[in-house]
Amino acid sequence: MRIVKDTNDYTRMSDSDKIYHLLTHDDEANKALAYQLCVGLVAIGKTYPEKIAIELRKDVMSCLKYGLEQAYLGTLERLEIIEDLETLPPEIVQLSSLRVLDASYNKLKYVPPEIGKLTNLRCLNLDDNHLTTIPPEIGQLSHLQQLNLGGNELKSLPKELKELKKLKVLAIRGNKLNEFPAQLLQMLHLRAIAFGEQPIDGLEKVLRKMSRYEHLWYLDMEEMGLTCLPQTIGAFKTLTSLCLNGNQITYLPKEIGQLKKVIFLEIGGNDLVDLPREFTHLSRLKYLDLSQNRLKDFPTELTSLKKIKSLNLSENQLTYLPENALMNFQKLRRLNLSDNQLQTLPVDLKHLQSLQVLRLSGNDFNGNLPEVIFELKNLETLDISENGFDVEAYKHISTRLKGCHISI
């Protein structure tokens, strides 16, 4: 094991100074030696100064490994692990006061049963690892409110999950589940469920059963192979956020209009050609994504949605926007019309005085920017690339839209 000797005075340092020097040097072998030396001091009844304790505490996993700073570990309430770990050590039980454990984006293949002893946990984030199983002891986390298991390799969930009576948020998207976990249908106290990016068999039937969730405010069903929504979608009356991106939905049932509390609605990457007239009932809607569909006409059902702040209609087949289509969007801040077939814009665009971002790339303006754009006084970003605009056009536009970032 190599010990770095940076100065000629190294041999004259006190033992404490040597340990401190090893801890603060950017070399893992030296740091490991420092922890071992501290273990040796403790073993013979000696202590180390506070400045060393402060450095030791910066690496909680090493403290667990070497059994150091146990009093401090017992008071720790939040821990984020960024170490490419393949397993959580069983010594994690020492973190008895832990309320938030974030071990996402590691290389975890195994979670020990000792995880169940962290009974003060409120939030457990194991997103984006390599987990194939979750220990049944997870059901012992009686105070857990949020559980993130997305981006792993799970094919099933332990039945003990239903014991988590205080769980409100469950994220299991991006796994290998091909059946909806039956135990979730017994967890009617859930407020948010994200289980997208996995083709679950019989999902339409599952959705009918899920209508029993009376308090659900967030539902993510992105990229799940849905071809339609059942009429029971209207039963989710408490939803404020619904993600349906990346499916093959060809139409929306009229019951979608019963989701009167929805604020965020994402239906991009589907096969919609129109919207039901009941869409006008979504009066609280603020963020709407209809990108990558098959819309040829601007959905007139949108014109009554006066609270819209962000509207994405990119990558459709729109050839024009009818007059008065936009005049009610007084609160609109972001409008994305990129990759359509537009040649001009309606004059009522001038009413969008809250608009900050306007994306028009990939249309058919052929170097002719609609004059109405220059009336948008609060515009900060304008993307008109892939429309035949040249440098001279850029100079002209930039002088008239001062302070606006322009992409040509």
Q: What is the per-residue pLDDT across 20-51, written as a single tens digit (0 to 9) for each?
A: 998 988 888 999 999 999 999 999 999 999 99
Tell me, what's the pLDDT at 1? 44
Q: Same domain, yes or no, for 308 and 379?
A: no
Q: Same domain, yes or no, for 303 and 352?
A: no
Q: Same domain, yes or no, for 359 and 406?
A: yes
Among 47, 72, 97, the domain-final residue is: 72
Q: Is the pTM of this model over 0.75?
A: yes
| Alpha helices, H only, 177-279 | 203-210
| Alpha helices, H only, 44-107 | 50-57, 60-66, 70-73
List the single range of 113-117, 249-253, 302-306, 369-373 with lowest mean pLDDT. 369-373
For the beta carbon of residue 223, count every other beta carbon within 10 angstroms.
18
State yes or no: pLDDT of 165 exceeds 60. Answer: yes
pLDDT tens for 230-250 read 898 999 999 999 999 999 999
Side-chain-side CA neighbours of residue 291 (13 Å): 17
pLDDT tens for 267-287 read 999 999 999 999 999 999 999
Distance of alpha carbon 269 from alpha carbon 292, whole angstroms: 4
More confident residue, 17 or 311: 311
Of the pLDDT bands very low, low, confident and very high (cuts 50, 70, 90), residue 16 is confident
Give the domain extent around 109: 74-195
Q: Same domain, yes or no, for 119 and 130?
A: yes
Q: Residue 13: CB partners within 8 Å, gap ≥ 6?
A: 21
Domain tally for the chain?
4
For position 231, which CATH number holds? 3.80.10.10
Beta bridge partners of 79: 101
Of the pLDDT bands very low, low, confident and very high (cuts 50, 70, 90), residue 207 is confident
Distance of alpha carbon 38 from alpha carbon 41, whole angstroms: 5
Nearest to 268 by CA among 223, 335, 327, 210: 223
Q: Same domain, yes or no, for 117 and 172?
A: yes
Q: Same domain, yes or no, for 265 and 221?
A: yes
| Phi/psi at 2 (5° precision) | -90, 130
Q: Same domain, yes or no, for 158 and 207?
A: no
Beta bridge partners of 101: 79, 124
List the single range of 167-176, 350-359, 390-399 with lowest mean pLDDT. 390-399
| Phi/psi at 335 (5° precision) | -130, 120
Question: What helix, strand, coil percent values describe the chain, rounded to 5?
Answer: 30, 10, 60
What is the residue-averaged pLDDT of the chain? 92
Among 294, 317, 340, the domain-final residue is: 317
Tell me, what's the pLDDT at 15? 81
Average pLDDT over residues 121-140: 97
Distance of alpha carbon 296 from alpha carbon 336, whole angstroms: 15
The whole-angstrom distance between residue 205's C-alpha and the CA centroid of its chain comes to 27
pLDDT tens for 321-369 read 998 899 899 999 999 999 999 999 999 999 999 999 999 999 999 888 8
Q: Same domain, yes or no, for 208 and 239?
A: yes
Q: Same domain, yes or no, for 127 and 90?
A: yes
Among 179, 195, 211, the domain-final residue is: 195
Q: Same domain, yes or no, for 254 and 303?
A: yes
